[in-house]
């Protein structure tokens, strides 16, 4: 099915459970331009999704409402198209499951896990939350914000489509860096609606990017039309190819749109991935706009 089957189109919301609404988008469609092939990916990774509008009725008509978090690996064949997921999840809204909220929740979560795992041809882990945790864990302490660097205000920004030639090295035998920006912006591949987010970058190697040029590069993504996962992989691949680091991790935490946010993370080694964000059982701390 087409990745644009529902995006940008007026679609009636289903009134009953409708697994046929789900659309899988083959990952290779968004990787070929970056010379990324399934048998030779330069990263491991996962996609963490938060769906804020999961709801259904018990057999007695009592609504159950909360947040669904689910996670699946970046090495599977496809990703789920976000509007199709929204339509699918909303198909539970007026259907009845279980005599009690817990009984209904067990049925609904098992159904969603089965449907998504079958669609994506991989194991999907998920968890339902109906309250905020007392303490929210956070994976990115110690990351310096690029836009808060002293030089940032004096930079000139005039490229707003992806420009990897902006990336320049600064140090030899530099060691490692932990940098972030809350200025990430790109657009939906199909509708061109803006997507806002934050990027976190860890890199270790003998040659590292100058902070000023890294910020200019990340701002240059502003008018790109790609899915969230492709933006994350694009940033990763550019840094991987240009600087040849020994270790690299890129995580993009996007704000929600249509009741869903998508947070892809890619890394050269498993231990570099954000463990709380990618744990379906943990509702981790996020950011100002999430």
| pLDDT tens track for 210-228 | 999 999 999 999 999 999 9
Residue 137 lies in a domain: no
Q: What is the pLDDT of residue 1?
A: 43
Instruction: For residue range 8-59, list pLDDT tens digits in order.
Output: 555 677 889 999 999 999 999 999 999 999 888 999 999 999 999 999 999 9
Residue 62 lies in a domain: yes
Q: Please state the rounded mean pLDDT for residues 110-117.
A: 98
Q: Please state the rounded mean pLDDT for residues 179-193.
A: 92
**What does the angle CA 206 – CA 211 – CA 215 come to, to the nearest 5 degrees?**
130
Whether residues 258 and 202 fall in one domain? yes
CA distance 32 to 237: 12
Residue 230 lies in a domain: yes
**What does the angle CA 261 – CA 265 – CA 270 come to, to the nearest 5 degrees?**
145
Whether residues 74 and 170 fall in one domain? no
Whether residues 120 and 176 fall in one domain? no
288 versus 251: the higher-pLDDT residue is 251
Confidence (pTM): 0.93
Whether residues 69 and 154 fall in one domain? no
Whether residues 183 and 253 fall in one domain? yes
Whether residues 123 and 148 fall in one domain? no
Enzyme catalytic residues: 188, 195
Q: What is the pLDDT of residue 2?
A: 58
197 CB-near residues (< 8 Å, 6+ apart)? 184, 185, 228, 252, 253, 254, 255
User: 98 is in which domain, residue-wise?
Assistant: 19-129
Q: What is the pLDDT of residue 174?
A: 77
Whether residues 259 and 158 fall in one domain? yes
Q: What is the pLDDT of residue 95?
A: 96
Whether residues 57 and 125 fall in one domain? yes
Whether residues 31 and 101 fall in one domain? yes
Residue pointed to by tokens 């498993």 = 270
Instruction: For residue range 268-285, list pLDDT tens digits in order.
Output: 999 999 999 999 999 988
- Under the banding of pLDDT at 50, 70 and 90, the label for residue 242 is very high
Decide if pLDDT at 233 tops 70.
Answer: yes
- Under the banding of pLDDT at 50, 70 and 90, the label for residue 5 is low
- Under the banding of pLDDT at 50, 70 and 90, the label for residue 132 is confident
**CATH code of 104's domain:** 3.30.1130.10
Decide if pLDDT at 127 tops 80.
Answer: yes
Question: 36-40, 97-101, 130-134, 169-173 — which is least confidently predicted?
Answer: 169-173
Residue 120 lies in a domain: yes
Residue 14 lies in a domain: no
266 versus 287: the higher-pLDDT residue is 266
Residue 172 lies in a domain: yes
Q: Please state the rounded mean pLDDT for residues 193-210.
A: 95
Contact 237, 267 (CB under 8 A): no
Whether residues 112 and 190 fall in one domain? no
Decide if pLDDT at 290 tops 70.
Answer: no
Give percent above pLDDT 90 in the chain.
82
Averaged confidence pLDDT in the chain: 92
Residue 286 lies in a domain: no
Decide if pLDDT at 146 tops 90.
Answer: yes
CA distance 219 to 161: 9
Whether residues 209 and 115 fall in one domain? no
Residue 277 lies in a domain: no
Whether residues 97 and 164 fall in one domain? no
Contact 239, 177 (CB under 8 A): no
- What is the number of domains present in the chain? 2
């Amino acid at each position: 099915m087409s990745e644009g089957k529902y995006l940008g189109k007026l679609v009636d919301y289903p009134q009953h459970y409708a697994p046929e609404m789900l659309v899988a988008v083959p990952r290779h469609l968004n990787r070929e331009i970056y010379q990324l092939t399934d048998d030779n990916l330069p990263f491991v990774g996962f996609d963490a999704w938060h769906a804020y509008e999961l709801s259904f009725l018990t057999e007695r008509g009592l609504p159950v409402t909360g947040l669904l978090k689910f996670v699946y690996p970046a090495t599977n064949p496809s990703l789920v198209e976000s509007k199709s997921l929204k339509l699918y999840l909303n198909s539970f809204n007026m259907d009845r499951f279980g005599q009690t909220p817990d009984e209904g929740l067990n049925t609904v979560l098992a159904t969603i896990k089965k449907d998504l795992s079958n669609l994506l041809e991989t194991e999907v882990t998920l968890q339902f939350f109906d309250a905020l945790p007392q303490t929210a864990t956070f994976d990115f302490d110690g990351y310096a914000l690029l836009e808060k660097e002293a030089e940032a205000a004096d930079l000139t920004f005039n490229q707003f489509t992806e420009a990897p030639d902006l990336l320049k090295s600064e140090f030899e035998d530099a060691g490692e860096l932990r940098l972030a920006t809350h200025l990430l912006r790109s657009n939906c591949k199909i509708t061109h609606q803006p997507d806002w987010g934050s990027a976190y970058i860890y890199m270790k190697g003998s040659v590292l990017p100058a902070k000023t040029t890294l910020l200019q590069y990340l701002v240059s993504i502003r008018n790109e039309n790609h899915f969230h996962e492709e933006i994350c992989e694009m940033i990763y691949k550019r840094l991987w190819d240009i600087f040849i680091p020994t270790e690299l991790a890129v995580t993009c935490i996007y704000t929600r749109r249509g009741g869903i946010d998508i947070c892809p993370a890619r890394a050269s080694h498993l231990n570099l991935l954000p463990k709380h964000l990618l744990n379906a059982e943990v509702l981790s701390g996020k950011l100002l706009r999430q």
